[in-house]
Structure 1
Amino acid sequence: MNTAAQDIDEIFLNPGEFHFGHGNTRISTLLGSCVSITLWHPRRRIGGMCHYMLTERKRSANTPLDGRFGSEAFELFLQHVEAAGTRPGEYQAKLFGGGNMLSGPSGGQLEIGPRNVAHGRQLLASRHIALLAEHVGGSGRRKLHFDVWSGDVWLAFPDGSDAQIKTAHG
């Protein structure tokens, strides 16, 4: 689909934010140790992106979902998947981020990024969602654009020599 720039609905996610949509929507974000998951339904051409900072928290049943936590951002995805009359296994996922951006008191790297990545993989596997590609780890920041109309993800990673790139085909 050829989409003119003026027809694109641009959404920018800050840490903890989430968006699910359709049509000519481009969702963008900037990542360090945080993780973004994109979900896309290839037949319906709907999907979304989350930007979470930590894996999970203790939460009571009446506490609203908070997209800063991977488990709760994923629950937001599941709510939108159900509302669209679709099933999680019909979606394709891509996973980004999890860089080592923070140092601990002794100067060593904190493991926030790698924990976020592992948690994202586990959440997707728990619902049998195909993980088609990932760009994770390393120490640089990532700029991400997800075109909901096509499922394409565009990534800028200027410090990218030490990140792991993986696709479903290799």
Structure 2
Amino acid sequence: MSAAPSELHEVFLNPGEFHFGESNTRISTLLGSCVSITLWHPRKRIGGMCHYMLTERKRPPNAALDGRFGSEAFELFLQHVAAAGTRPGEYQAKLFGGANMLTGPTGKQMDIGPRNVALGRQLLAANHIALMVEHVGGSGRRKLHFDVWSGDVWLAFPQGADAEIRNAHG
């Protein structure tokens, strides 16, 4: 782990939240079937993270963007990328989450996690953003820590005695 800045700004994202920050920022979240995408600009050392719950909705006219939906969370990214005077293709992406955590009324697994992951991949490809690494699927929780100063994402798996922490390099 590279050294943290002396004035560290820590942000925790709940489901549906989004943050785009400077090089003194660490963004964290906890995922199950939800998905987080991190975007990092290696030259400017800026970036952000979203935490979306569902792929999309029928957005009412003039409604504000809602980070609970992947399509709208990604629009928030694009707004911040443009406001920073950068282009999407200059960023590196990492994709996390999408576990099979939910069962329907018949006891059958719902496919919310896999659909969230598929949308994340589609949005990144459509915007020519390099997907450097992903850790998706499975059935457990993931805790993420994204260090904007370095682009590193640290994963913690908080389940039981097999809990572990590792860096998602890319």
Task: Report the TM-score when normalising by structure 1.
Answer: 0.91
Q: Distance in 2 between matches of 1:155 and 1:45?
A: 20
Shift of 1:23: 2.1
Aligned to 2:138: 138
| 1:49-79 alpha-carbon deviations (Å, 9 max, x no partner) | 0000000001133000000000000000000
CA contact (8 A) 2:34 2:113 kept: yes
Q: Distance in 2 between matches of 1:48 and 1:92?
A: 11
Q: Distance in 2 between matches of 1:167 and 1:42?
A: 13
SS at match of 1:7: coil
CA contact (8 A) 2:143 2:158 kept: no
Aligned to 2:55: 55
| 1:6-28 alpha-carbon deviations (Å, 9 max, x no partner) | 62111000000000011210000
Q: Distance in 2 between matches of 1:19 and 1:100?
A: 25
Aligned to 2:15: 15
The percent of aligned pairs where both chains have the same amino acid is 80
Task: Report the TM-score when normalising by structure 2.
Answer: 0.91
CA contact (8 A) 1:28 1:145 kept: yes
Shift of 1:94: 0.1
Residues 35-50 of structure 1: pairs in structure 2 closer than 5 A: 35-50=35-50
Q: CA RMSD in A?
A: 1.8
CA contact (8 A) 2:25 2:147 kept: yes
Q: Which runs of 5+ in 1 are unaligned?
A: 161-165
Q: Does the alignment pair 1:106 with 2:117?
A: no
Q: Distance in 1 between matches of 2:35 and 2:23?
A: 24
Q: Which runs of 5+ in 2 are unaligned?
A: 163-167
Residues 43-122 of structure 1: pairs in structure 2 closer than 5 A: 43-122=43-122
Q: Distance in 1 between matches of 2:76 and 2:137?
A: 25
CA contact (8 A) 1:18 1:73 kept: yes
The aligned length equals 163
